[in-house]
Amino acid sequence: MNRLFQRSLISTAVLGVCLGSAVSFASSHREAPFITKAPKVDGTDFYMFRSYEIGRENTVTLIANYLPLQDAYGGPNYFDLDQDAIYEIHIDNSGNAQEDITFQFKFTDVEQDLQLAVGDSGATEQVSVPLKNIGGIGPGPGDTGSVQMTQTYEVSVIRGDRRTGTAEKMMNTLDGSNTFIKPVDNIGGKSFSDYQGYAEEHIYAGAFSGCNGDVRVFAGQRQEAFAVNLGEIFDLVNTNPLGPRNAETNDLADKNVTSLALEVPISCLTGVAANSAGQPVLGGWTTASLRQGRVLNPQPMADGTGASVSGGAYTQVSRLGMPLVNEVVIGLKDKDAFNASQPMDDGQFATYVTNPTLPELLEILFAGTAVAPNMFPRTDLVTAFLEGVPGVNMPVGVTGSEMLRLNPAIEVTAFGMQNDLGVLGGDNAGFPNGRRPIDDVVDASLRVAMGALISDATVAPNNTAPFTDGVQVDPANLMVSFPYLNTPLPGAPN
């Protein structure tokens, strides 16, 4: 089949623009024009895997990361999430491309104006301080008397439609309330004597009706787990795509991110969706939504109306299931639309999957080395991104739609034995059967895009080529227990 495109019109500058939007900091970060204006609701990565912490193998871990590219020293406000937003993790356990269960996180700012008496003796004035904290923090969640701004959150469990379904608030079994506390970001070693221990105190046991078993929840700052050779990728893939897998620099090595993490018994998530062997299959994705209207206040008042007011219905502005979809699959003009869309409407984006541009771009940039598969439509990518792997995580009768899919019946691979190429590397507990923090989704996706799922080498000459961005996730930067992502880097190391 002839491929019709005018190579002569694709200048180096145009390619630079295309690739600049194609690959970004994380698997989906600042990838769409609108979301660059709203970093607090920018979903960067979504992980879903059968828990590999010893003794927790009967649970599934869900991790949604938001607010990318956190430099640890980013004071004085650091990286609170948006209390005017809702952050959601959706589960489709019926295979019909619609959510059956939604875990909705809603944050609340807790402010206390800390003041110091300043002035001559007998004539002091109480003056508000400019810093996040004026003393040590911790060791427990309640030890924040020196902090001016903290956050609490609630988790609603919604069955059915995410807006009109049956909702209940998850109970914090520690005190019977519906409130959980988000740890203050890792300001540094003088503010925290033991940040790791402090953060661990914010791992809560939760409960909701219809679920018997231990549920754990955590929301807070963690070290960025995604690894990518960002600078060179942006520079027209200025690297050897067939070079060593770990010869380049991880440009995210000094970043933090904010994680919303849940550990839920498998039995509390599964439904009727099952593969051809009768094993359950879960679909998952994360979204964030803002109120549709926002009015700026030209005269913000500390004790009155703040800098803005929001109103209207919640409007989705971020969506992430499978990694890298909005990064390297969806065209620039449709990235905002994708972020606002739902899996049940993914037919509108089908052409981006059946006729992908990334392989063509690689072929142009690496003429003579990279050869794009000559098969259209790319039914292999439809399977990878929209349906699941047959016999593994493809539900019988699946409604094609973009989301991460997990077969929780497949045994976990112990942390030290995990193959970061996942299924491509013979490790069926890894990507694209869900996604674990160790999984190198960039290398896996590059190889799949260039035909790794196409057995006929005459159709896909690069189907065994070991494409790579040259960076792997360092397992030393991960944990073997919930919430699996490492303690965040401190703003000051002392």
Partner 1 sequence: MYLVKTLGVLALSSLVLTGCLSGGGGGGNDSADGGGGDGGGGMQPTTFTALVQDIFAQTSDTAEPVDINALDITYDDQDNEDAFNDLLSQQ
Q: Tell me which residues touch partner 1 (CB under 8 A).
A: 97, 163-164, 289, 291-293, 295, 297-298, 305-306, 309, 311-316, 337-338, 340-342, 344-348, 350, 377, 379-380, 382-383, 386-387, 389-392, 398-401, 423-424, 426, 428, 452-453, 455-456
Smallest separation, CB 163 to partner 1 (Å): 5
Q: Which residues pair with 83 in a beta bridge?
A: none
Nearest to 91 by CA among 363, 267, 247, 285: 285
Nearer to partner 1 by Cβ, of 174 and 350: the residue is: 350
Nearer to partner 1 by Cβ, of 119 and 390: the residue is: 390
Nearer to partner 1 by Cβ, of 55 and 298: the residue is: 298
Nearer to partner 1 by Cβ, of 266 and 448: the residue is: 448
Between 358-365 and 12-22, two packed helices, what is the crossing angle to 10 degrees?
Answer: 130
Nearer to partner 1 by Cβ, of 95 and 138: the residue is: 95
Smallest separation, CB 24 to partner 1 (Å): 21
Smallest separation, CB 160 to partner 1 (Å): 12
Question: Distance (Å, rounded) from C-alpha 203 to C-alpha 481?
Answer: 11
Residue entry with tokens 């070991």: 466
Residues 6+ apart with CB under 8 A from 261: 61, 62, 63, 64, 216, 217, 218, 219, 482, 483, 484, 485
Residue type, 48: M
Residue-wise DSSP of 57-117: TTEEEEEEEEEEEEETT-TTT--PPPTTEEEEEEEE-SSSSS-SEEEEEEEEEEE---EEE
CB environment 182-203: b (16+ within 10 A), e (fewer):
bbbbbbbeebbeebeebbbebb
Question: Distance (Å, rounded) from C-alpha 311 to C-alpha 290?
Answer: 9
Nearer to partner 1 by Cβ, of 45 and 346: the residue is: 346
Smallest separation, CB 318 to partner 1 (Å): 12
Tally of CB atoms within 10 A around 149: 18
Nearer to partner 1 by Cβ, of 81 and 147: the residue is: 81
Smallest separation, CB 337 to partner 1 (Å): 5
Nearer to partner 1 by Cβ, of 401 and 477: the residue is: 401
Between 358-365 and 441-449, two packed helices, what is the crossing angle to 10 degrees?
Answer: 90
Nearer to partner 1 by Cβ, of 245 and 291: the residue is: 291
Nearer to partner 1 by Cβ, of 103 and 195: the residue is: 103
Smallest separation, CB 278 to partner 1 (Å): 17
Question: Distance (Å, rounded) from C-alpha 354 to C-alpha 64?
Answer: 28
Q: Which residues pair with 89 in a beta bridge?
A: 103, 286
Smallest separation, CB 413 to partner 1 (Å): 14
Smallest separation, CB 480 to partner 1 (Å): 26
Nearer to partner 1 by Cβ, of 350 and 367: the residue is: 350
Question: Distance (Å, rounded) from C-alpha 389 to C-alpha 396?
Answer: 11
Nearest to 146 by CA among 186, 101, 184: 184
Smallest separation, CB 212 to partner 1 (Å): 28
Residue 475 φ/ψ, nearest 5 degrees: -60, -20
Locate 222 and state its tokens: 């963690």
Residue entry with tokens 């060593």: 244
Tally of CB atoms within 10 A around 153: 20
Nearer to partner 1 by Cβ, of 137 and 448: the residue is: 448
Smallest separation, CB 435 to partner 1 (Å): 15
The two most distant CA atoms of the chain are separated, in Å, by: 89
Smallest separation, CB 125 to partner 1 (Å): 29
Residue-wise DSSP of 138-171: -SSTT--TTBSEEEEEEEEEEESSTTTSEEEEPE
Residues 6+ apart with CB under 8 A from 85: 40, 41, 107, 288, 289, 290
Question: Distance (Å, rounded) from C-alpha 35 to C-alpha 340?
Answer: 11
Smallest separation, CB 109 to partner 1 (Å): 14
